[in-house]
Structure formats: structure tokens, C-alpha cells
Structure 1
Amino acid sequence: MIAVILTTTHILLSERDVASTVGWTGLVWLAPLVGLLFYWLFGVNRIQRKAHRLRPQGSAQSESARIAAEDRAQHLLEQRYPEWVPLGHLGDALTHSVLEPGNQVRALVDGDQAYPEMLCAIDQAHHSVALSTYIFDIDAVGRQFVAALDRAHRRGVQVRVLIDAVGQRYSRPRAPRLLARLGVPVAAFLDSLLPIRNPYLNLRNHRKILVVDGRIGFTGGLNIRGGCLLANRPQSPVRDLHFLLEGPAVRGLMSAFEVDWHFTTGERLSGDDWFPPLVPVGDSLARCLPDGPDEDFDVIRRMMLGALAQARERVRIITPYFLPDQLLLMVLNVTALRGIEVQILLPERNNLRFVQWAAQAQAEQILAGGCRIFLSPPPFDHTKLMLVDDLWCFFGSSNWDPRSLRLNFELNVEVYDRTLTRQLQHLFDAKLREATEITAAQMRARSVPIKLRDGAARLLSPYL
């Protein structure tokens, strides 16, 4: 009984979410043995305590320099897009960084476009290569990356590779072991002795970052695996979208990698090899938004909420996993009720069955609020993209689910660029032409057993 009371006290003082607090408290009191074990193994507060150690001490930008840079960025935003200044202010407040002008951002569709660009950049590296990924399969594609990283390392380029400890278990041999045998500096993020490969495990480093010479950056949703190279007709094909960045915003990618690498290995990455002076190379305003259950908690979700409030014409979302919490769901519906067109594109056949069932349980409520949901046919679409009007795009590693938005380490990029956003609107249109729209009537017509199954899965949505 003392353990139950102490644990309940811990829950009441630590949990941010009321539903989570009620759920954990009920489990601890109704099933003490199971509840105590599960809370201390998987409870949110344990994640927070562990995550706070991930933020190393570092030299912060002086307050005066930060304010001066923020003023310059806001002045530029006021000149170009005055109606978007409030969203710029939100990003400033959430990230304590500024929008960076002078960037060039290019979309790369599937591994077919992204992998050759990434491999070419590694082969042309002169000083440094920083690669972080969730999954690094040792298949035909993975071996190409291993060979490129090995070549870079052998010619004297500083190479650092960070792979998530759960993601490394998706293939054998494991990429860290293979790279280490070649002498390439590699580490596994939050490694565990448990031999688990579980797609529902939390507190994972889900970021996808490649930075070459501190000047060229890649990020998006793309893992390193053969299934993403559609030209090879893989057995389990996966569509995806990645981005190539050049310009001052690349520093944000490198900074996020440096934080994770320092936590994992204790090594600091600094100097011009990793952080060279960056000059404008394009016309995009861009900013990186790291997110995780530490000091960066809830950054991406609040940016999504701000962007929905900013919308004046339309909002378009592509995501493989769509389990918005009640606040996001409500704001999506309010956005649609304001007369804004809200289109959500999801996979017709999800690779995670419980996520698909839970998403179906929410679909009727989302559709009833005026949003429109479309299902894209196979192959499975892993794209993560949000477009607002014809100016603002938001992409990276984050999904629209609690695991991404509360429990994993993610990184997204916001870009103010009409040309890029219109290109991505055309990409969305192409996907939409292949998709099938679902209606609230179709959701209501599901059989009672299916509704019960989906409703039960929805109860697990905070952990999916």
C-alpha cells in the first residue's frame, strides 16, 4: 500500500496530461502489481527524467546577438509576408532561434531521387559527414551507404554515424557493428540490453539527418532501406519524401545532430569542419524545429496548432500515422468550420495494424467537423508533409501521433517559400488523383465488431 501511495503521488506531481494521470492512477490502484511495474518501466515521468539528461551544457548564443538576429528575421518576414508575422513569432518563442533567410530547399521523391543525391554528397565530402537515422538496414541500399561512409573515412573525412538502438534491430547484421569493424565512428542512441525490435517503443531518436561539410543538409522521412528504392521493385515498397537544404538553415540540422552525438558518446563536435560560416544561396526563409521529451517538449505540435490558426485558404496534410490528440483534432475541425479546406491524405493500408484501427475510430469525428480524408493506394506512403495556403510548408520526421509529438526525438523544418510550396501542392495533387475519399457515412456503416475493435485500439493511441 505504501508503494501504491508513493507512486500515486509521483503520478500526480509528474504527469502533464489529465487522461494519462487518470489512466496510470487507475491501473496502479486496481492492479497494483502490474500497475506499479508498468508505470516505473514505461511511465511518462521516467521518460522525462531520462530525457533531461540528453541536453548537454553548451555555449549559448549571447542574448543581444540572438535578439539582433531575431529582429532582422522578423523585419524580413514583415517585408515579404506581413500576414505571417504571428507565426514567425510563434516559431521564435518555441525554438529560441530565428528564421534563417537565404536558403535553397529542394524536394526529393522516394529513395530513387534522394539516395543518389545523398551518396554523391558523401563521396564529395572534404571535411565532415554527420549521419543520423532511425533505421539503417544492411541490404543493397544500406551497403551502398556503408561503402560511401567507409570511403569518406579512409580519405580522411571526419565521419560520425548515429543510429537508433531500436531501429538498428530491423536488419542483420546490424549497421553499427558493420561500420565499427570498418573503423567508422558510429554509436547507437539509447542502447539497451533487451533484444527488442518493437515498432511501438518510445523515447526513440526518430530524426533523419545527413549533413556534409556543414553546408549541405538532408532531412525528411526517409530511412536507409531497400524498400524505399521503388525502381528495384522491392517486396515491401515504401513511398517517401526527403529534402535537400543549402544555406544558413543547415546549421540547425548540424546542431541537432551535435546534441544527440554528444549525449550518446560524450564527444563534442565543433569548429569549421562541422560548423563553417554559411552564406545565402537561395530565397527561402527556413528554420529547424527539434522536438523531444526534454527541453524541446511539444514544439512541433504547438507549431502545427499555430499553422492551423494561420491558415486562410487551405491546409493539406500527408502522414502515415494519424492519431491527433483531442486538442489537435478540435483545432482541425475548427479550421474546417472556418471555411478553410482541410485535406488529409493517409495510407489505405497501414503497416501498423493497431494504428490503422485507432485512426479509423477517430475518422468519423474528424469528418463530421468538415475535414476531408483521402486514402492513398499501395505502396505504403511514409511521407510527412503539411502545407498551409501557398506559402508555408512543414516537413521532417514527425508523424501526427502521440509517440512522435510527445515521446520521441524528432526534427521538422518550416519553410516560407511560394515556389517550393506550389511544387509540393502539385505533388499532393498527383497523390490525390490516385486516392479514394472516405465519408462519415462509410465510417458509420462499419459493423459493430469492427467498431468495437477500432474503439479498443483507440484506447491505446497515447502509446501507439
Structure 2
Amino acid sequence: MTAFWAFLLEYQTHLIFGSGLLIGLLAAIHAAMTKRDVRAAIAWVGVVILSPFFGAFLYFLVGINRINRSRRLQHNEYLLQDHLNGKYRETGNIADISGPQFESLKKAGNKLSRFPIWSNNSITPLLGGDEAYAAMIAAIDSATKTIAMQSYIFDNDVIGKRIAQALVRARQRGVTVKVLIDAIGAKYSRPSITTLFKNTGIDVALFEAHFFSFKMPYSNLRCHRKILLIDGQLAFSGGMNIREGFTSEISQGTPMKDVHFQIRGPLVFQLLLVFFHDWSFTTHEKLMPANWISTPEPLPQSNTAARCITSGPDNDITSTHRLIQAACAVAQKHIRIQSPYFLPDQVLLGALNTAARRGIRVDILIPGKNNLYLVNCAMMAQLNQVLDSGCHVWRSNGPFDHSKLFTIDEGWALVGSSNWDARSLRLNFEVDIEVYDRTFSTRISQHIDGEIEKAVPVTRDTLKSISFLKQLRNKIIWLASPYL
């Protein structure tokens, strides 16, 4: 034993150096063999080579996607198929509803989403927190059987407390209430909103709470979905978190902007399955529709056809990303995009630039004031890549606008929780709604156009007028854009 310890002491430097090289080599091999994006593979291999110990530790902590939800997905597939056979039929007349060019987009979506397109939906935009939160609280107060709520951020502020109190009142009436909050989003407030639900009978769960433990699947992945479901008949979804800053009451008449959506019809069942999916993944409890849907209401008399598009680093990875590519490819007249965080990768930049070169009008609306300084700098560094091909970029006036809207030819729209950045399109769990309907798409397009009328255009001269030091700062920050 003495000889062994003497050996370790004599060659400890060599052993540490050798083990560092071995660990780094294993991490680099794993990154090269498993990463789908060559830029991510190169970046991780570079980090590991430059710092074998720290780089390998960082890679094993946040660089490996350990999420595998295929088994839990299968449970929801059965529920969807049973409901499809029993009640709804997939929409077939997309050309009549939206336009002939969208038939091919529907086929692409069929390959990317496990959900079919169902008609007879009612989807109502709610502009800002004043409309959205009031409608949500009224819906909670009307619940008779079940409430399922899911949010990335649920602040413990004036609005958060009002919604929490409404949920508590519902539970006191005998309504089953389950609340799912992302573990990171729950920490935006101190104390967390979860403290208000203690001893109320409401089931509260945190998505991926073990973000500093090797037990977590991946500390860098968050659940960015926002869903509220009432009795399995009424839903709210979109991009709006629970935060008082979106109300004029708290913000003294200048609230942050966003667009949320109130939904009735078959689409509500798809959103319910999305919640079941995430609840099961978080708590291992399987929920059944029969216990969550009250007496069915008559379907809305509407031709609005829609489906959920889920994306995330599991079976649905890059589904929204690929749908955006397909949508840009079928555009014949006009592409409109509104996103608070516009940092598309080279593939999506290529899709937009190709559309612009085909003569398609491409309008991109981003916030004039952004709540994330680094993202704003990175966006400014990249805008020349769309301006050079003829796309039009606008910066909104007024308060920060968190809206996430995308329309094609006033016949198709994509609304929901996804931003045009790597975090939304590759790292986070998101839910968006693909809508085939001329009336709905026109309304969203007109909303974007109305904001553009008040916006400031960004041109190549605008970018050139930025000082060299700020341009350099923006470019340096832009290098980290896949991780912002």
C-alpha cells in the first residue's frame, strides 16, 4: 500500500494530466457523434479541447440531451386516436379554407406534428394583459369540474395573486386544479407563487426542478408553454406569461404588449393532451380525458382549421423550425413576422432570403425596446443578413412587445410560445398553433401591419450609422446567439 501511495505522489501530475485528456477526449467524441448541428458540435469540441477538465464538466452538465419521452408520448397517442375515432375527423378542404398553396404545407405539417388538423374551432385574439388576464380569471371562476394551468413564468405579483386566488376559489368549489410551472420561471419572484398554493388542495408541480443535479435530464432545457384549460371545453394559449407588467393598471397606462388567444372547439383537446404530456413527464401521474372533460358543448360553427405544433428536445425536436421553412417555401405574396427575439439560424435566414428573392414581400417586426439587452445586441448584428436580400425590418415604437406572430399570404398563421431563436426552436419545450383560415390570418396580418405603421424602419444605412465600437460589441455578443 505504501508503494502505491508513493507511486501516486510521484506521478500525480502525469495522472491528472492524463485523466484530463481522457475525459476531454471522451466528451469531444460524444459531442462529435451525437450533435445534429455542426456548429454546436464544433463549439463543444472547441470548449473541451481548450479546457479539458472544465469544458468536459460543462458539457456533461448542460451539453447532453438526456430527455427521452417516447414512452410517455405513446400514452397520449392512444388517447388522441381514441378521441379522433370517436368524435372528430381530419380536415380535408384546406384549399377552400386557406388557398391551394397550403395543401402542400398541410402535408409537411402532417409529417412534423402528431396532431391532425381539425375544423370547427373558435380562436379569439386577446390584446394585452388587460384583455387576457380578465378573460382568464372569468373563465377560472366559471369552472365546474377541472382546471389545468401551465406557464413558464407565474409571478407572485398583483396579477399572479389574483389568478392564484381565483384558482383557490375554484378548488374550494370542488374543482380539480393542477398547476405546472417551469422551475426557472417560478424563481422570477421571491417568494415564489407556489407558496400561495400550500395547503389549498391544488396540485402544483415544477418542471425540471433539479437543475443543479445530475438527476435532471438537462439543465438548459425549459418548458416555455403557456396553457390554461377549463373543464376541457375552453382554453387559453399563446406567448403571455403571468406578469403584472402587461396590464395598464400596474404600468400606469404603458404596459408591455402581447397577444394571447382564447380557444374553443376540438383544438382544446389537443392542448389538453399537451398538458397531460408535460404533467406526466414531471409527476409520473397519467391523466385521462374522461376525468377532465365536462359535458361536451356544441362545436363552434366555424371553418377555422387548426392543430397544435409541439417542439422540444425530445421526439418533436425542430418540428416548428421545419414547419417555418415549409411555410416560407409556399408563400406567394406576403410573409409577416413579429417576434421579440429574432435570431434565426442560417437555415431560416436562407428560407426568408430565398422568399424575398422570389419577389415575396417579407416584413419582420421586432421591438424597439427589448427586455433582454444581450438579445437586442445580437439581433442588431444579424439584421444585415435579411436586409441584403430585400426583406423589410421594422422596430416598434412604445413599450416592449412580446408578441409572437407569423402569417403567410393572409391564409395561414402560426401563433404561440415560440420565438425565432435557437432557444425556442431547439432547446425549450414550446407549443404553437397552426391555423388555416383566411379570416383569422387576415386579422393577425392586419394587427402586424398596424404595428408596422407606427414602427421605425431599419435599413442598411441605419446599421452603418452605428458606431464601430457598438457594432463590434454587437458582433461579439452575436457569436453567443445560439445560447442566448
Tell me the TM-score normalized by structure 2. Answer: 0.89
CA distance in 2, matches of 1:33, 1:241: 45
SS at match of 2:471: helix
1:172 aligned partner, one-letter code: R
Q: Which secondary structure state, in structure 2, belongs to the residue aligned with residue 411 of structure 1?
A: strand
Deviations 1:282-330 (A, max 9, x none): 2200101111100011111111111111111101111100100001011
Give the Cα–Cα distance (whole angstroms) in 2 for the partners of residues 191 and 63 of structure 1.
29
Correspondent of 2:309 among 279, 286, 289: 289
Does residue 367 in structure 1 map to residue 387 in structure 2? yes
Contact 1:56 1:263 in 2 (8 A): no
What is the identity percentage for the equivalent residue pairs of Structure 1 and Structure 2? 40
Per-residue CA distance 1:181-233 (angstroms, 9 max, x = gap): 323111111013659xxxxx731110000010111011011111110112432
Q: How many residue pairs align between the two structures?
A: 456
What is the SS of the residue equivalent to 1:50? coil
Cα separation, 1, equivalents of 2:89 and 2:430: 27
- Residue type at the aligned position of 2:230: V
Confirm whether residue 221 of structure 1 aligns to residue 228 of structure 2. no
Distance in 1 between residues matched to 2:114 and 2:381, nearest whole Å: 37
Q: 2:455 aligns with which of 396, 411, 435?
A: 435
8 A contact 2:69–2:281 mirrored in 1: no
- Residue pairs, 1:107-256, within 5 angstroms: 107-192=125-210, 194=212, 202-233=220-251, 237-256=255-274
Pick from 260, 264, 274: which aligns with 2:282? Answer: 264
For residues 70-98 of structure 1, the C-alpha deviation after alignment (integer angstroms, 9 at most, x for no partner) is x9535322454433111111111111221
1:55–1:295 Cα contact (<8 Å) kept: no
Instruction: Tell me whether 1:413 sits opposite 2:430 in the alignment.
Output: no
- When structure 1 is superposed on structure 2, of 447-456 and 396-405 the one drifting more is 447-456
Q: Structure 2 residue aligned with 1:24, among 23, 44, 49?
A: 44
For residue 149 of structure 2, what is the amino acid of its counterpart?
L
Q: Tell me what 1:377 maps to.
A: 397
| Distance in 2 between residues matched to 1:138 and 1:63, nearest whole Å | 35
> How far is 1:235 from its partner?
9.7
Checking the alignment, whether the CA contact within 8 Å between 2:67 and 2:313 is kept in structure 1 is: no
1:77 partner letter: I
Residue 253 of structure 1 contacts residue 288 of structure 1 at CA under 8 Å; is this kept in 2?
yes
SS of equivalent residue, structure 1 residue 358: helix
Q: Does residue 338 of structure 1 match 2:355?
A: no
Q: Secondary structure at the match of 1:40?
A: helix
Match of 1:280 in 2: 299
Alignment partner, residue 198 of structure 1? none
- Specify which of 66, 75, 89 is matched with residue 92 of structure 2: 75
Contact 2:89/2:118, CA 8 A, preserved across alignment: no
Please state whether the residue corresponding to 1:34 is helix, strand or coil: helix
AA matched with 1:389: D
In structure 1, how many angstroms separate the alpha carbons of the residues matched to 2:467 and 2:71? 46
Question: Does 2:411 correspond to 1:391?
Answer: yes
Deviation of residue 273 (structure 1)? 3.5
Amino acid in structure 2 at the alignment position of 1:317: I
Report deviation, 1:180: 2.5
Q: Retained in 2: the 8 A contact 1:395–1:414?
A: yes
Provide closer, same or farther for how the CA distance between residues 303 and 22 of structure 1 changes in structure 2, counting only shifts above 3 A. Answer: same
Measure, in 1, the Cα distance between the counterparts of 2:79 and 2:144: 31
1:420 positional shift = 1.5
Matches within 5 A, 1:47-86: 48-50=65-67, 52=69, 55-58=72-75, 60-61=77-78, 73=90, 75-80=92-97, 81-86=99-104
**SS across alignment from 1:380:** coil
Q: Is the 8 A contact 2:94 2:436 kept in 1?
A: no
Query: 2: distance between equivalents of 1:220 and 1:193?
Result: 26
Counterpart Cα distance in 1 of 2:145 and 2:476: 52
Q: Contact (CA 8 Å) 1:248, 1:279: kept in 2 or not?
A: no
Q: In structure 2, what is the Cα distance between the partners aligned to 1:207 and 1:23?
A: 28
Indicate how the Cα distance of structure 1 residues 437 and 59 shifts in structure 2: closer, same or farther if over 3 A, else same: closer
SS at match of 1:288: strand
For residue 280 of structure 1, report the CA deviation from its aligned partner. 2.6
Q: CA deviation at 1:271?
A: 3.4
Provide the residue aligned with 2:4 in structure 1: none
**Which piece of structure 1 moves more, 436-445 or 132-141?**
436-445
